Chain A
């Protein structure tokens, strides 16, 4: 046990410890930074914003991607992908989402559906 440990210099131990602390801090701070209160559905295609839609207003939106039309359904405060021209339909199988920050995505047709708050009203920082 002692012999195994002497291969590490004090610098190594400090470095590994700091990295662990960094990982721990990130795992607590990242979800807070990325989470938003979700009431708006953002639909992006080919990383351009196609539109934003209220989560409480039922409708079906069709999005034109490189493969064809992806149909996104908003119903009862939840979003799902109804149909998609992609081969595997993983996006349809992702089911429905409603929480802020949750995401549906179809990689072949480059469609990203994300629930978020009003991004322009988000605060950068609070000082007191």
Chain B
């Protein structure tokens, strides 16, 4: 029982981290109809920028807070230089151009920060463990990730459902022409939304950094997973991204925590321990293919 609770909590934590990354992606995707493969690069840049700022300020919280406006500016700059020219283009051009940006950012990081990876230590005040149940400790930092993820989810839900910007966002996702008709400055809106997406990516990157490590190409590894999440959820849908991220998080944990033991009931131990990760690795892709066959525009996507 303790074990089950612990593993489910791990799944929630992982799901929220994935949601942070997927939220920015689904926003830009839904509103600007932009396939941004370079979203993973913004995740990486967020982590590297945070590393530098944490070094300067000698404080995790301060550095992390300063890193957000910095990546916002980076996002605005990328939007102005490249992305703006891609909105009217088809997805193919977008894939090509943002694929080029990935290569560029990976090498840029190497020029600025060098080839060796970096690491951010877990801040002192979060480096202890908390007993979630008697005798079951859980790292405080992972609780912090859960908290940040939950806050962002609530904030986004409020932004989309209750604000004027949110209305435009919803309108944009379902009818792009209508926004123009409303006399809204689309350029500014797009620019801000892209910047916001960059901030979410950076937040995911810097929150993940103390658990993982900061390295060149760190975003490329999980970019595809983030795409899988927003496609399962339905492009442009924050709710869909959230649900899909939580499902993927739980599937991942179940695959790792319980699948090997389950397989051992009918196959040899050695075969089970090597088959389990392979199965859990393809499980999300099977899930995505299944969802798309069932609903070709994802769980909460727009039908037309």
A binds B: no
Binding site for A on B (CB under 8 A): none
